[in-house]
Structure 1
């Protein structure tokens, strides 16, 4: 296997990628949306209204004689070539920071073993399996998926369309029954059967029951809703779902769940990544993971509007104009603070980032804004005071009432195992949120 590991938000010479040239040729300068259409699983799914993750974002972007990586982490493959994108806070060993984000946001088991080069496909498969509870819970917030199913009957209680050919075949001589078919709105449909097959497949894994216990109520609902489940129908159910994907926008969470279930069940049949021309893999949006992780730390201090679910939407102007989703709005309305989570190095925060937060501050009458970013050096906060005046009048001076602060959370690098990483992260988290509690 030809393997290359790189880090997010980094730049490498193109020569470094020469031994995985076939894979790089298929992903370089392609957007996340294009890669998703080609079979790569993107988490969270491509969101058309998200600000932090753009459908135009590239995994590897050509910059002269180098490739620059973005905010995503994960595994990509093509034939015998693999590319692993680690977090930039990964040391020489395992990527504890990436694992920590997955653990805090998605309740992932500890599976990130980046040293196991020979087991990359299994690790990719585990990523898919461990995402299942999250997608199942998210989809079923909309309730059980229901659709029209054509059922065929042969009895005396005719309610639908008579099937003449089948009636002649089954009811000659006539004994009182009539063959007919009827469309009925049912929970026991091909999509729910696909979810059921995935549940039964995961149950047979050594860690399956521990994984599904997190969504035991949802699992019970699926099992109760699929009395027609038969283990030997798996391939038929897979084919039905491949041909009939969820189309209604209201059920887009079920579309994501359907796609994940197909990947899990088809991977078992060695259909993912088959052939030397197909690219496959799973990519996690570091910006989304970072924002949700920060929310877990400051949710008692800040409101957290979420553009993916439409929760907490704000408007810049009256007449419902100017939809915005600030990352964080302080609950203290007397001394309002706006904060923006940025999964990028401190030197990359600027230009459009400044304009965005200042617009939010102006909208909510906030005098203080913060950029919340991860950093490894442990440097102090950088506080920037807004200017007043103009260069034309040569009277530019800093104000003393409006400021933006770049506030970093220190990520431990000098650790020897995951337990020590967690212990040091707890200390960093306490220091990080202390500024908002004083």
Structure 2
């Protein structure tokens, strides 16, 4: 009998409620995301260590007194016959349509149905890994095809490498004018490219495979051209070769993550699904990152979007290249500059350090308006704050009408009949949200 527990992100839950998944809980409790990655869990995005809202030191399940607390992480974990599902706290209905919608909008994931059984949960974990493949493939191949040195054997009269004496004696006695030699050459047809090719062929066997792969058709065509020696029966050998020799060069970081994803896809069904194997597995997503990228898809025409993870659009607080900062959003209108921050938290949880951060950004860019964009699952209660002037010592504290900081929510539908209805209502919420910036 499989035990499944569903939790929300960023909530406290009593310890005794985890008794049915006791073994899984022990495997993940008080462990960082970095530790879980080493044990076989896939974490997205891969550069969590450089994101402000989530770090590799963050714990997915942390012990606090007699409770366990979840964090900003969404996704699925399994161990043996035990399953843990972490949903978005902004989905208050029976189904986590909001998480599904974020994946569809940000990562172009196909629609997937609500899943209830153990087999369904395993299929959902596996499908999420597969759906990530086009994203990682396109990201890696922005650097071009991966090439590495490969040893080739020749037997001709154009000596260019090291003579292979034993082979030369066997093949060229009596001497006919040819020389047997070995040469190291750069090649695109290497173990990593073969691994990617095997993953492509494996995904093609799935009902949604061809449709999914069309999202990276140019990259896939390049892989086919590079892997002319592909053989289906080499799959096990290729997986072993890639596990023994992971990509380590910093320039090919994206290929390292793609390599890891391919291995997990090709081995997942064999080792995990329905097998009850005592091995931790799963896939986790940074909810704050998904929310920020989703907001960018709505307001990108009005705002620049510096990216900490991708080292894009870096700004400095001070002259002399001092004080690296990455504001979430900087308005494209430089005459009436606006700074905005995407916050994956309820309106009442936005405060303290959040205020200081955005106010510092506003001061840096001479902005008089600042925004927090947050998801609202109840009733929209936008709040406009005016910066004070004066001090209590002189008893002259007063609001500045010209410097405003607003909390501006996007309504997340709930109590909907199905995912199609959720999407329809989300489109309405988006139109209302975007209309506020039409004048920018």
Distance 1:266 1:166, change over 3 A: farther
Query: 1:435: how far off?
Result: 1.8
User: Where does 1:164-183 land on structure 2 (aligned, <5 Å)?
Assistant: 164-183=165-184
What residue ranges of structure 1 are gaps of 5+ in the alignment? Answer: none
Judge conservation of contact 2:195–2:239 (CA < 8 Å) in 1: yes
| Pairwise CA RMSD | 1.7
Task: Name 2:10's counterpart in structure 1.
Answer: 9
Output the TM-score relative to the length of structure 1.
0.96
Q: Does 1:245 align with 2:269?
A: no
Task: Name 1:369's counterpart in structure 2.
Answer: 370
Query: 1:79: how far off?
Result: 1.1
What CA distance in whole angstroms lies between the structure 1 residues aligned with 2:153 and 2:112?
47
Q: Deviations over 1:147-187 (max 9, x none)?
A: 11112223332211112233334434443332221111111
Judge conservation of contact 1:95–1:112 (CA < 8 Å) in 2: no
Output the TM-score relative to the length of structure 2.
0.95
Q: Does 1:46 align with 2:51?
A: no
Which consecutive segments of 4 or more residues in structure 1 shift more than 4 A? 271-277
Judge conservation of contact 1:75–1:283 (CA < 8 Å) in 2: yes
Judge conservation of contact 1:78–1:273 (CA < 8 Å) in 2: no
User: Where does 1:50-199 land on structure 2 (aligned, <5 Å)?
Assistant: 50-199=51-200
What CA distance in whole angstroms lies between the structure 2 residues aligned with 1:273 and 1:361?
53
User: Where does 1:203-222 land on structure 2 (aligned, <5 Å)?
Assistant: 203-222=204-223
Task: Name 1:282's counterpart in structure 2.
Answer: 283
Judge conservation of contact 2:272–2:281 (CA < 8 Å) in 1: no
Judge conservation of contact 1:94–1:115 (CA < 8 Å) in 2: no
Task: Name 1:378's counterpart in structure 2.
Answer: 379
What CA distance in whole angstroms lies between the structure 1 residues aligned with 2:92 and 2:394?
51
Q: Deviations over 1:272-301 (max 9, x none)?
A: 897754211000111111111100100111
Q: Deviations over 1:197-227 (max 9, x none)?
A: 1111111222111011111111001100111
Once the two structures are overlaid, the 10-residue window that deviates more, 41-50 or 422-431, is 41-50
Q: Deviations over 1:344-388 (max 9, x none)?
A: 122222222111111111110111111101011122211122222
What CA distance in whole angstroms lies between the structure 2 residues aligned with 1:262 and 1:220?
21
Once the two structures are overlaid, the 10-residue window that deviates more, 272-281 or 140-149, is 272-281
Distance 1:350 1:249, change over 3 A: same
Task: Name 1:297's counterpart in structure 2.
Answer: 298
SS class of match (2:437): helix
What CA distance in whole angstroms lies between the structure 1 residues aligned with 2:235 and 2:155?
26
Q: Does 1:398 align with 2:399?
A: yes
Query: 1:259: how far off?
Result: 0.5
What CA distance in whole angstroms lies between the structure 1 residues aligned with 2:372 and 2:115?
30
Judge conservation of contact 2:73–2:286 (CA < 8 Å) in 1: yes
What CA distance in whole angstroms lies between the structure 1 residues aligned with 2:406 and 2:143?
39
Between Structure 1 and Structure 2, how many residues are aligned? Answer: 438
Judge conservation of contact 1:294–1:341 (CA < 8 Å) in 2: yes
Judge conservation of contact 1:78–1:278 (CA < 8 Å) in 2: yes
Distance 1:159 1:274, change over 3 A: farther
What CA distance in whole angstroms lies between the structure 2 residues aligned with 1:149 and 1:243?
16
What CA distance in whole angstroms lies between the structure 2 residues aligned with 1:306 and 1:274?
40
Q: Does 1:315 align with 2:316?
A: yes
Judge conservation of contact 1:11–1:68 (CA < 8 Å) in 2: yes
Once the two structures are overlaid, the 10-residue window that deviates more, 203-212 or 172-181, is 172-181
What residue ranges of structure 2 are gaps of 5+ in the alignment? Answer: none
What CA distance in whole angstroms lies between the structure 2 residues aligned with 1:35 and 1:273?
21
Judge conservation of contact 1:290–1:341 (CA < 8 Å) in 2: yes
Judge conservation of contact 2:119–2:274 (CA < 8 Å) in 1: no
Judge conservation of contact 1:93–1:114 (CA < 8 Å) in 2: no
SS class of match (2:111): coil
What CA distance in whole angstroms lies between the structure 2 residues aligned with 1:210 and 1:87?
28
Distance 1:414 1:192, change over 3 A: same
